[in-house]
Structure 1
């Protein structure tokens, strides 16, 4: 749950997402083969794809399409944080 909180806080202090991804990679072996492994995979993908689209969005802001990309990325990340958090709270694995 801590990583979902760190990702949510990253909109106010970006460094928390970096702390979250480090925690994911350090603790990943401990959850291998459990239902929590799907949450770690979900969180790692959220970070890397979110970063990719943030870079693409920032690079294309000059031609204005970047604002739409950044907004879509924001919505997508918030969706993934909420969905992951709710599934974790219910003790359910993430669909992968």
Structure 2
């Protein structure tokens, strides 16, 4: 699909985009990567803004190396959301079971509930680290003028 020459991509479809449009989309992607990073300091409140931004400009980059960055950020967002929700679901189920174990005065159920909740927290932690890794990796590739896989 893309032929690499040094740090740049030769793609006949990218000839349709002038240098000003390309620089504009690069800047736009820098902003979306920044918003993803800032979302860590706003309890995730900014997490939704860059996904809307990516969907809004995604088609403008079709056929260029910048399209990989839009797709990368969109996939990162959705996979992170799915795994985060799975983790929260497991924790919620475990906490409900913990409440039942207290009412039933069962230590075995309580231990199982704590272990299950731990698995949920591990899933959420891995999703968090994976999300951060993908944002950093993508942002570095953008700064180098390279597509992401």
TM-score by length of 1: 0.94
- C-alpha distance in 2 between matches for 1:94 and 1:56: 27
Q: Distance in 1 between matches of 2:52 and 2:70?
A: 11
* Structure with larger Rg: 2
Q: Give structure 2 stretches of 5+ with no counterpart.
A: 1-29, 95-115
Moved over 6 A (4+): none
Whole-Å separation in 2 of the counterparts to 1:4 and 1:56? 24
Unpaired runs of at least 5, structure 1: none
Matched, 1:27 2:81: no
Deviation at 1:12, TM superposition (A): 2.2
Task: Tell me the secondary structure at the aligned position of residue 83 of structure 1.
Answer: helix
Shift in Å at residue 32 of structure 1? 0.7
Equivalent of residue 37 in structure 1, options 67, 80, 84: 67
Compare the two structures and name the one with the higher strand fraction.
Answer: 2
2:135 is matched with which residue: 57, 62, 81? 81
1:17 and 1:91 map into 2 onto residues whose CA distance is 24
Query: How far apart, CA to CA, are the structure 1 residues paired with 2:66 and 2:140?
Result: 13
Aligned with residue 52 of structure 1, among 82, 94, 101: 82
CA RMSD of superposed structures (Å): 0.9
* Count of matched residue pairs: 95
Provide the TM-score with structure 2 as the length reference. 0.62
